[in-house]
Amino acid sequence: MFALNFYPELYADALMRGRKGATIRLGDKSDKYRSGQIVWITVGRRYQVRQKLFTAIIDDVTVKKVGELTQTEVEKENLEFRSPEDVMTLLSRIYDRVVTPLDIVTIISFSPVRENGKEGLDEIYDRWV
């Protein structure tokens, strides 16, 4: 089982409210994540305990240069972002290196999976639909 892990202070609320359905990761991750794959959506810091929020299915995986990101792709990463430069600033902070328009990124779009019998998950699913 693979996981898409997010920093809790940046994304836990958006994920739980159904406001984040994609992530932009530095590098080509198409060998790790594929359309139709089931993953856990988790939050937590690297090398620390992580919390599973819900199970998701990957809808789409796209690889391109940061400078080629569309407005829609930028907003899927963060509703407050307006340009690829906003994404570059975030990725530079997360990956602790300067990210340029020529860097390759992977856009991973996902949707929650409703798990029958799992109390609390239906509420997450209902926020997404």
> Domain-by-domain residue ranges, the chain?
2-128
Q: Is the per-residue pLDDT at 126 higher than 70? A: no
For 23-63, what is each residue's pLDDT tens digit? 999 999 999 999 999 999 999 988 889 999 999 999 999 99
Residues whose CB is less than 8 angstroms from the CB of residue 115 and which lie 6 or more positions away in sequence, other chains included: 54, 55, 121
CATH fold label, 2-128: Sulfate adenylyltransferase (3.10.400)
Q: What is the mean pLDDT of residues 62-80?
A: 93
Q: Is the per-residue pLDDT at 84 higher than 90? A: yes
Q: Give the pLDDT score at 24.
A: 96
Percentage of the chain exceeding pLDDT 90: 67
Give the bridge partners for 110, in sequence order.
58
